[in-house]
Structure formats: structure tokens, C-alpha cells
């Protein structure tokens, strides 16, 4: 194997991981919602796969005592973003799709130049 941990079949989606951890905590959707400062409908939408990029994911992860990256992507090894990375992510989200594609192309070009110089 390449060291990548296989995510159990029942924990492959954000909703499945959220439901699994909520149940481990012994909470209802309503109880989790109150703890995270949101409402039960938000939790229900996440668990049912209707909300794939919830705004309250950091708060939900904090009250569930899990890493937000694990909750979103199943990545247990993820580390919190640095302030610089968070700033870049915020700028990225403000870009149009065309602007994002230009940035991706530029990053690919920079990376290929770096690889060829090694």
C-alpha cells in the first residue's frame, strides 16, 4: 500500500461522517445544531447530502471534537490551515471560475518549471 488509509465504506461522505460522529456523541440533530449555533434543518441537509459546503463546518467540527478536514474530506492527517493559506483560500473563493482557471494554469506552469529545474 502507499500509506493512504482507506475510509470505511459507511464514512465516505460528509453526511455519513457527520452522522457517525453525532451518534458517537449521543446527540440528536437538534442537540448538535444548538451546540454549533445553527438549526436542525442545516444538520439534516448535511447528513442527507443536500449541503456539501456548509458555512458552519468549523463550528460543527469543533463541537464534535474532530478536524474540519476529516469531517469534510475524510482526511485524518490534515493539519489546520495557516493564516496565509486561509487568506489565499478566501481570495480564491472571491474569484470567478475564469479567474480560477487562469490561476490554476499559472500554478501548473510554475510547478512544471520548478520540477524541470531539479
Tell me whether residue 33 is in a domain: yes
Residue 51 or 3, more confident: 51
97 and 54 Cβ atoms separated by less than 8 Å = no
Tell me whether residue 18 is in a domain: yes
57: containing domain = 9-73
In the chain the first and final C-alpha atoms are separated, in Å, by 27
As given in the structure block, the three cell numbers for residue 8 are 470505511
Tell me whether residue 24 is in a domain: yes
**Interval 42-69: pLDDT, tens:** 999 999 999 878 889 999 999 999 988 8
Name, in order, each residue with C-beta under 8 angstroms of 11's C-beta and a sequence gap of 6 or more: 17, 20, 74
Q: Quick one: pLDDT at residue 105?
A: 93
Rounded CA-CA distance 71/74 in Å is 6
The answer to whether the pTM exceeds 0.75 is no
Q: Quick one: pLDDT at residue 60?
A: 96
**For a pLDDT cut of 70, what percent of the chain falls above it?**
86
Longest dimension (CA), the chain: 55
* CATH number of the domain bearing residue 26: 1.10.260.40
Look at the chain and report how many structural domains it folds into: 2
85-111 mean pLDDT: 88
**For a pLDDT cut of 90, what percent of the chain falls above it?**
50
* pLDDT-based confidence at residue 3 (cuts at 50, 70, 90): very low
Task: For residues 65 and 39, state if they share a domain.
Answer: yes
Residue 7 or 114, more confident: 114
Amino acid at each position: 500500500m502507499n500509506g493512504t488509509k482507506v475510509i470505511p465504506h459507511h464514512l465516505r461522505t460528509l453526511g455519513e461522517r457527520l452522522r457517525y460522529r453525532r451518534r458517537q456523541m449521543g446527540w440528536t440533530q437538534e442537540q448538535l445544531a444548538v451546540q454549533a449555533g445553527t438549526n436542525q434543518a442545516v444538520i439534516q441537509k448535511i447528513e442527507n447530502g443536500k449541503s456539501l459546503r456548509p458555512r458552519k463546518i468549523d463550528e460543527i467540527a469543533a463541537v464534535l471534537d474532530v478536524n474540519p478536514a476529516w469531517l469534510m474530506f475524510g482526511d485524518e492527517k490534515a493539519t489546520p490551515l495557516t493564516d496565509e493559506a486561509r487568506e489565499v483560500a478566501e481570495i480564491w473563493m472571491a474569484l470567478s471560475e475564469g479567474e480560477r482557471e487562469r490561476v490554476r494554469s499559472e500554478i501548473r506552469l510554475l510547478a512544471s518549471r520548478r520540477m524541470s529545474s531539479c
